[in-house]
Amino acid sequence: MTPSGVTTPAERVAALLALTDEEAREAAVLAALEDEAPAVRERAIRLAARYIEPGVLGTLVADGVNAARRNSALAALECQGPYAVPHLEAMLQSSDADVVMFALQILARIGVPSAAPAVLPLIRHPGLNIAQAAIEALGRLRSREAVPELLKLLGGELWLQLAAIDALGAIGDPVAVGPLIELVPDSIVAEPAALALQRLAAPVSLEPLLRRFRIVRERPLQDALLLAVGVVLDLHPDPDPVVLAWGEELRLDPSGPVTGYLNQTLGESPADGGESDERLRAAAALVAAAGISPLLPLVMIRLGAAEAPPWAEGVVRRHPHGLRRELDRLLADPDARVRRGALLGITPASDDAGRFLPFLDDPSPEVRAAACRALASTGAPVVPSRLVALLRQGGPVEREGAVDALARLSGDALAELAPCLAPDASEEETLAALAVLGVRAHPPFEHRVLELAGSRSTPLRRAALRAAARLPGSRVEVALFRALADRNQPVQLEALELLVRRGGDRTAVTLMALLGTGDSLRYHVIRALGHLEALEAVGRLHRLYPTVPLHERLEIVASLIRIGGPELGDFLRGRLMEGEVEIRRLAARGLAELADPADAPLFRNLARDSDWGIRNEAARGLGRLGRLDVRETLLTLARDVEPVVARTARQSLDELTGSGPAGAARRTA
């Protein structure tokens, strides 16, 4: 039923929302489920999830004539989540095959594991579509109880076999590894089986996967197996013995298809259109772990390229044997990317310095920068002076490399930085030296660093403050406090942040004194006190609260939540009485964090609030209480018209029933 006289979608939505009489609302919502405008249907679905019982929606699903209304009803049932599960389980007994199919699909999407026992018998249903949907649902529900039955289907009808393979991969029980491996490579379902093994990622599958990978020649199956090997390598606690042995077999018998395939995969560029980052990563990991000599330069090219993938260094460092064995050959490679990759990927030993020093004079600045870092890790005495020379005379790339490397050295070695901090040094040199000292403290430079904190140059002042903040002592603290009055606000904020990071008893007291000023810094000071968790500031913030504008009041509430303290609960409950919705939201958030059991009735009230943000915090707070008597309220919130609230309530329900992370933690405890 479309409200009469209403023509535009926006007006129809507004009319729906305005209805308060239950009977009229239900009729209007049911009619709007088949409105011609998607926006009206979407709103009606959310309202139906909240206000219409699953039984009523179930009858619409059974109505095969009105497809639009049926689809909307299905969406509404899905939105109802756990609330609809008992009814959906009942729908599985329907004689209407379509209804059973739809119920299975929605149960799978809702994903409540407790529905699995009702689904399991249907995998033997005479209707293939229903059996297949049941298998898929069990996969989505991650039902371990279903694994024995699913394994029996691996030798059966093809569609059921495919669904079972996929479900076994989703469930992730390692007991499925053996039967799935048996399907590779000589079966029609070899690729899906490899995909399932990838999802299983069981360490025990590494050796059989590698064995099959060596003999397979079809590119799609090679891809699938490589991806599976890549994931297992990532998750395996100690893959190298297995992979090195496999690499040795490969070296003795290089005629197989695998070397050519890996060569091709590692050589692919985005321009080839075949670039798959996951496949590339898997190939790089396998080559590094197995130490496949002819292919190592390709891995180094990936690591040494200007835009190396973020995983490259980790992958190479995790499997160090091959690189160490081939290091000299790789460092002599004419391609600068190979040399750079080798220097970045190697875990240096103390006697490597002599090997790396010549690369400080490499023709490529990128290689020189990588050599800085490798040298820093050797700890050789000659290194600091060479790095400082590069920092003073090198271009931007080497300077950056030298800063990075010097910041890895011990404090004593940093004495070499003295010329860079001298008054006659260029600003660039001094900034670079301060960047090092901003990471690694060196107390002998305190005097000069504090001098620079008063420099006329803003970049120098900021860099000097960062370096000073690494040093202990009251002189540094005074310099940081003084910087709070700097003429440049970014410098003020930098100083404030550094003070918070340093902590210390005097910091909170000094910052509290700044609360009396009405300037723009106070907003940041309030937040800083929160980050300091300054309990001594609580009283002062309470007194300040009624006197300041809204943006500062919000910061005060947020800071008090961070600080905590015995009066926090009462303060937040008081804020719930205010008219400003943002203050109420923040207060509700703080109360949800506190999760005081005495607040259960309060959360039940908040669950009926007109504001979604407050209902969301009620859902969170109720979940954190961990009491079963709040389940009914959470079930209502799980059908909330606002999806964010519904999602929070479902997570809280999961935690109550023990399937969420907090529930699991409670079970373990």
Partner 1 sequence: MSRADAAEWKLVTDLLEERFGLTFAGVRSEILESRLQPRLRAHRLDSLRAYYHFLRFHPDGESELAALGGRLTNNETYFFREPHHFELLTARLVPERRPGLEGQPLRILSAGCSSGEEAYSIVISLQNAGLELSGPAWEVDGCDLNRDRITQAREAVYDSGSLRACDEEARRRYFRELNGRYYLRERHRKGVRFFEANLRAPAGVLGWSVYDVIFCRNMLIYFGERAFAGAIDLFGRSLRPGGYLLLGHSESLLDRPTDFVPVSAAGGVVYRKRAAA
Q: Shortest distance, CB of residue 10 to partner 1, whole angstroms?
A: 7
Identity of the residue, 151 or 662, whose beta carbon is nearer to partner 1 in the bound complex: 662
Cβ atoms within 10 Å of 430's Cβ, excluding its own: 23
Q: Shortest distance, CB of residue 78 to partner 1, whole angstroms?
A: 18
Q: Shortest distance, CB of residue 518 to partner 1, whole angstroms?
A: 12
Q: Shortest distance, CB of residue 67 to partner 1, whole angstroms?
A: 17
Residue where the block lists tokens 């490529």: 364
The CA distance from 223 to 123, in Å, is: 31
Q: Shortest distance, CB of residue 34 to partner 1, whole angstroms?
A: 17
Degrees (nearest 5) of the Cα angle 538, 539, 542?
85
Prior bond to 365 cis, omega within 30?
A: no
Among 572, 649, 662, 643, residue whose Cα is nearest residue 607: 649
Identity of the residue, 311 or 523, whose beta carbon is nearer to partner 1 in the bound complex: 523
CB-based contacts of 554, cutoff 8 Å, min separation 6: 582, 583, 586
Q: Are 189 and 161 in contact (CB under 8 A)?
A: yes
Q: Can you give the binding site for partner 1, defined by CB under 8 A?
A: 10, 38-39, 493, 497, 520, 523-524, 527, 549-551, 554-555, 558, 582, 612-613, 616, 620, 644, 647-648, 651
Q: Which two tokens stand for residue 233?
A: 């390598």
Maximum CA pair distance of the chain? 91
Encode burial over 217-256: b for 16+ CB neighbours within 10 A, e otherwise: eeeebbbbbbbbbbbbbbebeebbebbbebbeebeeeeee
The CA distance from 49 to 519, in Å, is: 49
Identity of the residue, 75 or 285, whose beta carbon is nearer to partner 1 in the bound complex: 75
Q: Are 102 and 134 in contact (CB under 8 A)?
A: no
Long-range contacts of 192-195 (CB under 8 A, 24+ apart): 192/162, 192/165, 192/166, 193/165, 194/221, 194/224, 194/225, 194/227, 194/228, 195/165, 195/166, 195/169, 195/224, 195/227, 195/228
Q: Shortest distance, CB of residue 244 to partner 1, whole angstroms?
A: 39
The CA distance from 254 to 265, in Å, is: 17
Identity of the residue, 390 or 498, whose beta carbon is nearer to partner 1 in the bound complex: 498
Identity of the residue, 401 or 623, whose beta carbon is nearer to partner 1 in the bound complex: 623
Cβ atoms within 10 Å of 577's Cβ, excluding its own: 9
Identity of the residue, 349 or 644, whose beta carbon is nearer to partner 1 in the bound complex: 644
Q: Shortest distance, CB of residue 524 to partner 1, whole angstroms?
A: 7
Identity of the residue, 506 or 551, whose beta carbon is nearer to partner 1 in the bound complex: 551
Q: Shortest distance, CB of residue 651 to partner 1, whole angstroms?
A: 6
Identity of the residue, 451 or 611, whose beta carbon is nearer to partner 1 in the bound complex: 611
Q: Shortest distance, CB of residue 478 to partner 1, whole angstroms?
A: 22
Q: Shortest distance, CB of residue 44 to partner 1, whole angstroms?
A: 15
Q: Which two tokens stand for residue 450?
A: 């504090």
Identity of the residue, 377 or 652, whose beta carbon is nearer to partner 1 in the bound complex: 652
Identity of the residue, 412 or 580, whose beta carbon is nearer to partner 1 in the bound complex: 580
Q: Where are the alpha helices (DSSP H) in 172-254?
A: 177-181, 190-200, 206-215, 219-235, 240-252
The three-state secondary structure class of 478 is helix
